[in-house]
Amino acid sequence: MAKDYSNENELVKACIEQDTHAQFALFEKYKVAMFNLIFRICNDYDSSNDQLQEGFIEVFKNIKNFRRESTLGAWIKTIMIRKALKASRSENTFEEVPDQIEACDLMIDQWIDAQMLDLAIRNLPGSSRAVFVLFEIEGYSHREIAQMLKVSEGTSKSQLHYAKKCLQKSLSKNYYSK
């Protein structure tokens, strides 16, 4: 009979004891959310799968160090973000943001579907995409993002501003091309 690992403390304890059923249960519980997070940052399916696998290897190696200062999911998410950022670091060169970003006063009245928005986010330049995902989707502060990416808070803010302008331009172009 399969053991129920619905209690987070029991799941962590069993994983520390290298219980493969518990490890599989933990992987199954978090794999989709963590893959989506990594993919939003890396923007490459194969690399995202590699980082997911490497991330879970790191989770299982270090789960004994989980101090329960946050939820297990938040702890795993931190590991996965580090993996994704490291993998995409070569792509994420922080290019100069233009001095003047073209203003776009367009208001889009049409509902934008998730697929259109996801595609627009995936087409952002790597560094801007990483900042946008971490700030707008994952809820990190500019200070936290700056520390993760080893850039200044100002760079994080300007990359977010640039990402939003690029998204606005991309989405308005898609809107008018229909």
Tell me, which fold does domain 114-176 have in CATH?
Answer: Arc Repressor Mutant, subunit A (1.10.10)
Q: Is 7 exposed, middle or buried (0-12, 13-18, 19+ CB in 10 A)?
A: exposed
Regarding the domain delimited by 8-88, which CATH topology (the fold level of the hierarchy) does it fall under? Rna Polymerase Sigma Factor; Chain: A (1.10.1740)
Confidence (pLDDT) at 53: 96
Helix axes 142-149, 72-88, angle to 10 degrees: 50
Is it true that 8-88 and 114-176 share their CATH fold? no
pTM comes to 0.71
pLDDT at 96: 53
Residues 161-174: tens digit of each pLDDT = 999 998 888 888 76
**C-alpha span between 19 and 26 (Å, rounded):** 11
Contacts of residue 107, Cβ cutoff 8 Å, sequence gap at least 6: none
Query: Looking at residue 126, what is its pLDDT?
Result: 82
- In the prediction, which pLDDT does 158 show? 93
Mean model confidence pLDDT for the chain: 83
**Tens digits of per-residue pLDDT, 113-136?**
678 888 888 888 888 899 999 999
pLDDT digits (tens, 9 = 90+) for 3-50: 777 788 999 999 999 999 999 999 999 999 999 999 989 888 999 999
Domain extents for the chain? 8-88, 114-176
Q: Is the pLDDT of residue 84 over 60?
A: yes
User: What is the reported pLDDT for 2?
Assistant: 59
